[in-house]
Structure 1
């Protein structure tokens, strides 16, 4: 090649042409360094016919490529996935490619680096920051900047500890090979239903062909053990496997189960990895050495050398939808990656999404069912507590029947779980004297009180401030009152009711890393926790045989806000958290506190008739032309200047094309009208299923110009309507 089309990692630019200097060997997919003005950018060589350029430039005006990265070229299947994702989600191709090249250090050659670890020596001069650093670092190892981030201190504190011998440097080969999982290490004993399901999935892997399958099994039915058999088959064939998990906190328990089955841990990929760990994982995945990768949604775009199987665990989870940058849904992109790679895709869930169920009905997805729990375990008995009839005591949030059940469970030496999907102590703090409410200065959202950290926090932008003694409006002291419950308040109530009980709060504030998740699991398994109070973080993936009681404190919370998927999401969430009870030989009980026990979703949960619920929900979606029977796309206009954002939103609304089968609603202020200091307006596009709505929006917005101070984002198939 004497000329190459390069997709540089700059989302504002399209593909650019460069000259390939004499002696440089490149091909489509090669990762290169290209000059752009005075800068040097990474880029990927693309087929010219698949990536049209805005203008053809003569060879004599082209600049030379500077270098080729010491890494395998991106394979055709990944390049086709990049094109599809960019086209479907109306994203710049460069933004999608950036996810595939998410470790820039991996593009360099093999090398040794110096990492640092604590020596155990205590320096003579011990400051508060040094003490904090050594305590938080513990037995961890990493670069100076990484240790500083872990310890929440400056780089200078770590360097000071190195000088006095409290921390030492060690040379690390960051490309050392990973152990290879053994498919025959510890094969499980499967029930007849599990064996039949596993055989079906293993047969799919053996065909080396694209085939999406819904693995639909009740909580505790052993879905993981079943799809592990398909993983084992892919390993026997020498191919790679990708397992996607919705939460980083689930990674550590999964790694332990994988180790027990295959004799070693898989390669992990998530935001909690150090830069050296990311580099090592990326290079092993690209070379094919990493046989099984488990990770969050970003693992989907890594450059696998030979994918033989993709598994999406807890496939119904809304956290698989990326809400920033490229607005992709990892479940759907996983299916497309399987199509381009020519490999089977398993979507495992106890509560499949309506969109996935509809694909089964249409015959596009196969279905494998596990209708019962494994072994002697039975599904728990579920009871709805009408809060109008069983009112909690004044100032309390736990109804008397649930209090009695907690007491009985403690007396038997068993564990309980109280679920409330609301972090912090209280969702609103106000002044009882003047009525002042604490609102985030950057967002139209109330500040949430966190008593464990003595702070008010915004859960949208991350703004935090200390809880003041006096009201900032009227200066009255000791007049602030917390309104409504969060998990911390429920934990306080549980501790007051049962002073001898050991209570643990489990949220993203307390379980922020795989290590923290492993610590929580260890305490539960050791019986060191009696009552867990948690958010949606505890609704999935955990298996505690001694946990026999689940109480849902406010089952109606998820039904607020008029969200398209509110009822479905509430059903999935409560069904999942109910599934934590009675997973061993001891029977489980579930109490659901609600003001609407007669609501369809509550009746479905109590009776266990999920089919009737999904049937009714599906029909209401069909009647409304909502997904999966129609299509939605959101257009979000934002700017620090409210008037500018509103003007651009109105211009977009006025210029909406008239297309048969498509309606445009708005613009209107977003429910979250200000986020991170930016004013927001939304338009909602509703179209019939067969319409190529992306093509319409591309032409519509492409004909308009707006100020650089205004940001216009398109969210195809939105999950958040805030």
Structure 2
């Protein structure tokens, strides 16, 4: 019970509490609890805020820093289950870790505003009583008799079901209600999510899978916090193993959250879940419609949604009884939120499990170096699945040196890869060509004057999408029609695409293999679960011979007849100053290679490269992940980089470049100094103009023992920046753009 506060001039005491609105404000505000209103911490309430009515969550005791006589009253409690204490502590923790306002974090958990309203009432109809002598005035038409006859054999039912089964209209049913022969009752809306069927038999597990599954189930049953890495090669059956832990948690009456990096594209994963548990999980991602989001939010809050599968934002749903989190493909960059509240969902999931006292499981064939470092330090446990399940074996990997085995002019497929493709198709098998570039070409320039087409809002080249007839910025979405003449010099027929994208590769493929069924798969045309499911069906039905795509094809797809993967530009992503460039490239190429040979037929992967001695390329070809990880970790240790040190980025941005430079200069003057602290910057960001805002960056590097958040708070407290300039803080940055 919250502490009581006295209101000046009153003869009695009235309760005051703090309420946190979902706004980027400093913290909760104090309010008076009206007489007779029962309020507890976690309740969702309506409050006056300025001249508006706002909604928020009762956070606890009043702060007491405002005269109680000046406080306003809470309007009322909303008809929704309260937010639990663990969920509120999690919001406080994320706020403190990311240096974001508490209300901004809460807003992610209250993203569906109308979910706080009472759901529309549901009415059902049933037989009120039998016909009596006093009902002689009731005219029983054939239609009325059909309804009464149907209701004699059925419990209360929806109007639509009754009318459909009886072949009647609503006026007939209303007449029976008015006559007192049929009863209309208001009932609570049923949950849209059926409980999982835990009696469905599981597939046969190998001895290694059985051992791993038993270990994970023991962790769930113990109901204590732990973090376990499920470290298994591609195709080793990691999903089936952690499904056993999911089943255990559900059997204990706990809710389960599974985070996937691209839930909208995970058609095969969802089908495997349906096969294993007999129901659809509750989905939470950007493609889910508003009505379904409202239903899902309330079902999570009341506990009827027992299993949620979602993107990173699913972390902030108001779970009633969460007892297990699984982060699949834990290494994926997609788990990093780069806008608003900047956080990494994998790390926040571990924090959520720690606060809730339950296990968190991280699954990957290419774990992040941060996770491996935690395993080595003993903070995380690990189970290993070193072999593919069943008869499938890991593919062989070959390096193709494009300096020697050169493609034809303005072509990208080497003679060796072309020969292997011909052999694959002759055997009735399927192939994939991987190029992690959307569009037709990453750059368009004028051969007459050298003009390059650049986004007016960003420091980025416009990507040509020839199929749309447009140039597009992949950072802000700006588009322009492909012109007929150069806008700089007016030359005609001088605009030239530079470099390949998947559309250009598709053009080459259909010229090389005109009789094949070829399809392109990128985020431009595979944008949701229906499109992903349709693609999976076409590949499984062998309606596709050659699949050409970007990194969306690296995310767990299983195509038994796909035996050849050709990586067109294995060097893409290795260059630049990105701390994690080598690690990301290794993970991505390994995941892509893992699409080959997942059935009974062996697979082959060809890596086209201009740098065959690169350690990433050599490690993938040798299948020696441990050697790569050790070299990469030693390089990080040499320079004090994560996971051996801490990083934080400050991004200063604004509409006026001179104001941004002035603010960055002032922040730089106040930069912290001390043992184990290094500040780099300010420097123009690689994308120094993004969405119309000029950007300057600082990078703070510290020893692991330094409390980064405290250093940044003290630093920025010494500097006053104008309201037109924004300072974003990114703890543990993944992007350096």
The normalised TM-score by structure 1 is: 0.90
Partner of 1:19: 32
Cα displacement (A) at 1:478: 2.0
Matched residue, 2:727: 712
Report the Cα offset of residue 173 of structure 1.
Answer: 9.9
Answering whether residue 98 of structure 2 is matched by residue 72 of structure 1, we say no
- Match of 1:137? none
2:17 matched residue in structure 1: 4
- Segments of 4+ in structure 1 off by > 6 A? none
Distance in 1, Cα, partners of 2:191 & 2:344: 33
Alignment partner, residue 567 of structure 2: 552
Equivalent residue, structure 2, for 1:250: 265
Q: Shift of residue 700 of structure 1?
A: 1.2
Matched, 1:45 2:86: no
**Structure 1 CA distance, aligned partners of 2:571 and 2:670?**
40
Aligned: 1:240 with 2:255: yes
Preserved CA contact (<8 Å) 1:174 1:276: no
Alignment of 1:217-616 (within 5 A): 217-616=232-631
Secondary structure, aligned partner of 2:266: helix
1:117 corresponds to: none
Contact 2:328 2:364 in 1 (8 A): yes
What is the CA deviation profile of residues 238-270 of structure 1, one whole-angstrom value per residue up to 9, with x for unaligned ones?
111100000133333221110011111111110
SS in 2 for 1:47: strand
- Would you say 1:638 and 2:653 are equivalent positions? yes
- In the aligned structure 1, how far is the partner of 2:220 from the partner of 2:672? 46
Aligned CA distance change for structure 1 residues 77 and 574 (closer, same or farther; 3 Å):
same
Structure 1 window deviating more from structure 2 (7-16 vs 331-340): it is 7-16
Q: CA deviation at 1:623?
A: 1.2
What TM-score do the two structures reach when normalised by structure 2?
0.88
Q: 242-251 or 536-545: which moved more?
A: 242-251
Contact 2:264 2:527 in 1 (8 A): yes
Contact 1:174/1:277 (CA < 8 Å) preserved in 2? no
Question: Which deviations, in whole Å up to 9, do the C-alpha atoms of 1:442-468 show, x marking residues without a partner?
Answer: 001000001121110000001011111
Q: Is the 8 A contact 2:670 2:718 kept in 1?
A: no
Distance 2:280 2:592 in 1: 27
Q: Indicate how the Cα distance of structure 1 residues 485 and 304 shifts in structure 2: closer, same or farther if over 3 A, else same.
A: same
* Preserved CA contact (<8 Å) 1:174 1:280: no
Tell me the equivalent position of 1:155. none
Equivalent in the alignment of 2:160: none
Check whether the contact 1:249–1:511 (CA below 8 A) recurs between aligned residues.
no
For residues 660 and 90 of structure 1, the distance between their equivalents in structure 2, rounded to whole angstroms, comes to 23
d(CA) in 1 for partners of 2:207 and 2:342? 41
Deviation at 1:13? 3.9
The alpha carbon displacement at 1:349 in A equals: 0.2
SS of residue in 1 equivalent to 2:673 = coil
| Alpha carbons of structure 1 residues 112 and 547: separation in structure 2 relative to 1, 3 Å | farther
TM superposition shift of 1:374: 0.3
Q: Give the match's secondary structure for 1:653.
A: helix
Q: Distance in 2 between matches of 1:650 and 1:184?
A: 64
Q: CA deviation at 1:78?
A: 0.9
Task: Return closer, same or farther for 1:173/1:420 CA change in 2, 3 Å cut-off.
Answer: farther
How far is the alpha carbon of 1:658 from its aligned partner? Answer: 1.7
Name the SS for the 2:337 alignment partner.
Answer: coil
Please give the per-residue CA displacement for 1:616-653, whole angstroms capped at 9, x wherever unaligned.
11111111110011011000000110000011011001
- Separation in 2, partners of 1:318, 1:517: 20
- Whether 1:663 aligns to 2:678 is yes
Residue by residue over 1:283-335, the C-alpha shift from the partner in whole angstroms, topping out at 9 and shown as x without a partner, is 11111101111000000111111112110000000110001011100000001
Residues 454, 173 of structure 1: alpha-carbon distance in 2 compared, 3 angstrom cutoff: farther
Distance in 2 of aligned mates of 1:89 and 1:634: 11
User: What secondary structure, in the 3-state scheme, does the structure 2 residue paired with 1:558 have?
Assistant: coil
Q: Distance in 2 between matches of 1:607 and 1:594?
A: 15
Counterpart CA distance in 2 for 1:107 and 1:702 is 37
**Offset, 1:174:** 7.5
**What's 1:84 paired with?**
93
Gaps of 5+ in 1: 114-171
Q: Which residue of structure 1 lines up, in the alignment, with residue 47 of structure 2?
A: 34
Q: What displacement does 1:655 show?
A: 0.6
Q: Structure 2: which 5+ runs fail to align?
A: 3-14, 123-186
Q: Is the 8 A contact 2:267 2:536 kept in 1?
A: no
Q: 2:190, 2:688 → 1: CA distance? A: 47
Contact 1:181 1:262 in 2 (8 A): yes
Secondary structure in 2 matching 1:10: coil
